Amino acid sequence: MTYSPVSSATSLSVKELRQDFPLLHQNVSNHSLVYLDNAATTQKPDRVIKVIDRFYRQDNANVHRASHTISARATHAFEDAREQVRTFLNAPHTDEIIWTRGATEAINLVAQSYGRTFLKPGDEILLSAMEHHANIVPWQVVAEQTGASIKVIPLTPKGELDMATLPELLSNKTRIVAVSHVSNAIGTVNPVQEIVRQAHAVSAIVLVDGAQAVSHFPVDVQQLGCDFYVFSGHKVFGPTGIGVLYGRQDLLNQMPPWQCGGEMIKQVSFDGTTFNTLPFKFEAGTPNMAGSIGLAAALEFLQQQDRTSLQQHEEQLRVHAEQRLRQIPEIRLVGTARQKVSVVSFTVEGIHNQDIGFLLNQKGIAVRTGHHCAMPLMDHLGIDGTIRASFAPYNTLEEVDYFVDSLQQIIKQQLYSCNASEPSTQSESNQTETAATSLEAPFSQFSTDQNAANTLLDALHSSRDWQSRYRQLMLMGKNMAPLEQHWKTEDSRLHGCESQVWLHHHYDDNSMKLYFAADSDARIIRGLIMLVMLLCNGKTALEIQSLSFEDEFETLGLLTHLSPSRGNGLRAIVDEICSVAHRYL
């Protein structure tokens, strides 16, 4: 089957389904977890967890070639898992199913084995503007290696492929077409079957990235007619570190091995090596046996469900979310294709995506923010990134309503609430008045005297819990005067931060003290900048070098509660400040 929209009412028992997923039954930030980050990874049903546990407790042995019972059991389970995948995709032959670490490795395998072998200067590779980086970068690398060039299918304003341009982009120079079945960033379902038909008309082969498709609707590779199809286990209720490459048998037989080692050989001597047959010639080394068996359990679990009811329920969640979000004036939906899976991307006017994600997390809601590994798509849309809520069958309409209600509350608090309702201090409100008048802007606003700095730091330390401390940081960021636009240059921009951060410094020759000025487009980062400025501004290079930033952050709980991307951004700011200080030692 391929994707087809559904609209009838669902008979799915979501309450019963949720009981199969243990991770969902926990609290985050003192709220019941609402997990809306399923496009990044899905949660795992009990049977997957138990199958992997049982394998390691009872059947853990290396597969193939062994003569003992445990290895035989492991081999049977491992190869049965391959057959389960073949059935799941309706592939013609089991030896067309290649185990990989994930969709990314599968694409790299095809790019390096097929692409590097058959591409030549003047050949063309056709991608789309909505591809994940994993379906862009491998083709860029092989294009550089072979002299081939890359063309791109553009998008319509709704976030759909502009299929009217496809006949013009395809030619007798086109050798490979690589497209996503479903966009991970905006949820668009692409007309893969038609793309395959047109590509084959010019004798091009087609690779389909199905990472975002297989959990949402049945996939039949024979009906699609594609030459290669890839997906990752963790996106379809399976374990991480396991993925699948389906390839047409005749193409796989023409392709040389990509990685070499054990298992992918028949005979080895110092005079030469004879490679194994399919599928083993592409599976060098000890495979991820537990991952393969866990993935098979996940696919079996999914196939035992009523897939139509699952699809209906997900569609109901998405439509309900989009209808409610459209009623909020500050929200702009991104990606409004006619055919979509249960992915909703949006931005909020006046509030950075990171801040929204962080504030939702304080209410127990997990969403994804950023460019979603689709930077060319974001450039095409003219935005830096989005907030993405992605739904799975175990999500509920009540969760959607709680998510939208929480979002409305956040927007009201961040854009329209009175500062007087927030915790504040006299020193904070008058920080610019206590600044050293000898410093030029923008450094003067950060040069509070030590007593004022200590008062602000004490307010952070005395906060009763992380939520209170977070509100204090957000208020500090809100009250921090922004850098004027001419200070926000590319030269002053720090890399390693998910949001944009600009940093400048001033060295006072008389006092030998350093002063820093910084800004960000994310309010939480502005609050963290203010914290760092309080710790280091007006100190000598030696004093800055001796500061224990990590200890201070650990005491405040920043490294525990901040996401890894924000933690890395905070460290990038500190690293740059320490690097500047080192120049003046």
Residues forming the active site: 373
Q: Torsions phi, psi of 407, nearest 5? A: -65, -45
Paired residues of 126 in beta bridges:
151, 177
Question: In 3-state terms, what secondary structure has residue 368?
Answer: strand
Kindly calculate the radius of gyration of the chain based on its CA atoms and give it in whole angstroms: 27
CA 375, distance to chain mean position in Å, is 11
Q: Give the Cβ contact number of residue 85 at 10 Å.
A: 22
Calculate the alpha carbon distances from 417 to 360, 410, 413, 420, 523 in Å. Answer: 17, 10, 5, 9, 15
Task: Give the Cα separation of 420 and 117 in Å (integer).
Answer: 67
Residues 15/18/24/25 CA torsion (nearest 10 deg): 60
Reduced DSSP (H G I as helix, E B as strand, rest coil) percent helix, strand, coil of the chain, to 5: 45, 15, 35
Strand 513-520 relative to strand 265-269, pairing:
unpaired
Burial pattern 443-452, b for ≥16 Cβ within 10 A else e, equals bbbbbbeeeb
If one counts every other C-beta atom within 10 angstroms of the C-beta of residue 180, the result is 28
DSSP 30-50: TEE-EE-BTTT-----HHHHH
